[in-house]
Amino acid sequence: MLGARAASAQSVDMEQARADDDFRWGVRAFHDANFGDAILSLEKSLSRKPAAALPRVWLGDALYKHGFEEEALAEWRQALLRDPGDSLLRSRIQLTELRRGVARELARPPRYVVAAEFPSGKLSSPPLRRPSAVHARSDGGFYVVAFGSGQIGELDVNNHVRRILNGGLKGYNRPFDCLEVADPRTGDRFLWITEYGGNRLLKANLRGERLAEFGTAGRGPGAFLGPQYLAADPGGYLYVTDWGNSRVAKYDLDGNFILSFKGALAGPTGIAARDGEVFVADRARGAVLRFDSSGNFLREYGGLAGPEGIVFRDPGTLLVADGNRLLAFDVESENWETLADLSGDAGRITHLSVSANGDLYAVDFDRSRVLVLSEMADMYTGLVVQVERVLSDSFPEVFVDLTVRDRWGHSLVGLTRDNFRVTERFAEVNEPDLMGANPPMAMVLVVEKSLAMKDNARGLASAVERLFALVPARDLGQLAVLSAGEKPALEGAFGGPRLAAVRAATLESWSPRWRFDRAVRQAVPLLAGRHARRAVVFLGSGRLESDAFGEFSLSQVARYLANNGVAFYAVHFSPEPSPELDFLAAETGGGSLFYFAPRGIEPLAEAEARRIYPLYTLRYKSRADADFGRRYLDLQVEATLARRSGRAQSGYFAPLSD
């Protein structure tokens, strides 16, 4: 009997040891971006010890990265039943369900509260006084135009001054607004600045050094009497509100005067533009007026107290600074909603802007303040931190790749080391380093091998040639070619020369039974482990077959791309692509381009270079005892921004050693 008990105990111990070993290999495979292998190892571990909660959480993580969100949620829910006190897992389940549903489309416009405020006069020396305008930058920072002190401040995401633009020897004569724009012809970026005191429009480089001046004081064409706010439309035209002349002036990006329009304007202030339309706030009329891009009056929306700065949050929602209120106007339904009421807490809000991270910036002209407002629901929480992988091959040196998103899945940009806190085995890591975030591009070209594309073989070759020409020289080793035939195959590996890639794209493997879903799924693992801007570029006819998603659903393909930070671009050879291609592009931050458009595929490389890179990498030296690589080392990462915060829990194994 004693021997039987000993044998039973030994059997239980061995089963636990095998489960632990499978768990270790599953975690290591996950961090190596081998999610299929991770799933197999973790399932094997759970088959030995079904009650274990931690391997089930990791299995959910691996399924999530593999694009199987419903299955991932099922595993997480089971793990939560085993450990109901895991608040981080509960929050992750809720946020994943939120992003998968239609909650945002059905939700009312959010209410905003002040998350941070600071006197603009204390941002720098000399101080930035009387801020008249604020404009968000794509890197998470923003510009503050200081009318009172004749300067423009460039600030980072934590409201720290990067530099002060003062206009050089000539300075700025009462600058009122500035706008950073890109020339659509060249991609070069520069600043437009209105000089209220000088009655001029300035073109400057990003250091604030003037390149050209336009306009004089007066009432004739191209003249100003107090130019104020600026807007640019997608076509590359610039619009300036001229307070003294009660009109709007339109220029091209070379500074050539095009036209001016007035209509019923009495005191034009803020201005915003979208495709084919211009919206102008009129403080004197207490209204926002709508024009087409040629200045023809379309409609007036009145009942406001004294609107000034306006900006589009998205193509259908106009934000308005109206006295001490921040309002949202739904252009389609023509409904107004109050986002924030600052009555009694502000002097005069003259302008507002939407940050790259979803906050609102507003400037209080009378009290020389800059306000940062966040959604009320996000205060003290609102950030979703996810550890993508932990690299421990050089243990005790550890690298942690992570993303920080809002609760709707939008990546936060511009964060610095000051925004992160790392804890390993309940001990805070001292000053982790934030690695530089200027990664190369990595692209997998997925080539449609349908019979319809056989006639476009020459165009395919030209497209691959053009992509090689557009990609920066340092990134040329980061292109691979995968054929989307009946059995997708890697035809050209990363690092191959240009001619090899061209040959790979045009191999004679055309088939009426080509598989789109399987090819895209096969492309993602080639990118998942690369520290780069990851993109799948689909070169095809643009017309998907009815069974294009026969093995994997459209949603699964979209989530597989998005959950691994891979953008999808469709380069189509027919003018009207299938809507599924546009959907994948929209869901992943990519784009859809017609090969025979005037600029062809050039915008693809430009868009990918500008695309928000969502990955942050922290480096630190671990002080934990790894037990020769056998001990699971848990870690937590916390991210904060103003009064928003979020945490993620993960872990890793050091390499095995003797």
* pLDDT tens, position by position, 75-121: 999 999 999 999 889 988 988 887 776 444 545 567 889 988 877 65
The predicted-structure confidence for 619-632, as pLDDT tens digits, reads as follows: 999 999 999 999 99
495: tokens are 């690092």
Q: Any idea which architecture 112-378 has in CATH? A: 6 Propeller (2.120)
Average pLDDT over residues 217-232: 95
How far lies 71's CA from each of 27, 39, 54, 60, 431, in Å?
A: 18, 12, 16, 7, 37
Q: For the whole model, what pTM was predicted? A: 0.84
pLDDT band at 13 (very low <50, low <70, confident <90, very high): confident
* Angle 372-115-340 from CA coordinates, rounded to 5°: 70
Tell me which residue of 71, 74, 16 sits closest to 46, measured CA to CA: 16
d(CA 228, CA 222): 14
Residue bearing the bigger pLDDT, 406 or 291: 291
Q: What are phi and psi of 554, to 5 degrees?
A: -55, -45
Q: Which of 183-187, 317-321, 448-452 has the highest mean pLDDT?
A: 317-321
List the single range of 22-26, 127-131, 201-205, 400-404 with lowest mean pLDDT.
Answer: 127-131
What would the mean pLDDT of 34-39 be, rounded to a whole number? 94
Residues in the chain: 658
- 2.60.40, 1.10.3210, 1.20.58, 3.30.1330: CATH of 383-436+614-652: 2.60.40
Structure tokens at 247: 């009109």
Which one is predicted more confidently, 436 or 212?
212
Output the average pLDDT for the chain. Answer: 89
> Class of 441-610 per CATH?
alpha beta
pLDDT: which is higher, 5 or 273: 273
Lowest mean pLDDT among 113-127, 383-397, 439-453: 113-127
Using a 10 angstrom Cβ sphere, with 0-12 exposed, 13-18 middle and 19 or more buried, the burial of residue 652 is buried
pLDDT band at 11 (very low <50, low <70, confident <90, very high): low
563-603 per-position pLDDT tens digit: 898 999 999 999 899 999 999 999 898 999 999 988 888 88
pLDDT of 475 higher than 70: no
**354 neighbors 311 (Cβ within 8 angstroms):** yes
The string of DSSP letters for 357-370 reads: TS-EEEEETTTTEE
Report helix angle 579-588 to 554-563, nearest 10: 30
Helix axes 602-610, 457-470, angle to 10 degrees: 40
Can you give the residue ranges of every domain in the chain?
11-98, 112-378, 383-436+614-652, 441-610
pLDDT-based confidence at residue 1 (cuts at 50, 70, 90): very low
Q: What CATH superfamily is the domain 11-98?
A: Tetratricopeptide repeat domain (1.25.40.10)
Q: How confident is the model at residue 474 (pLDDT cuts 50, 70, 90)?
A: low
Domains 11-98 and 441-610 alike in fold: no
Token pair, residue 66, equals: 């593999």
User: Residue 122: what pLDDT?
Assistant: 60
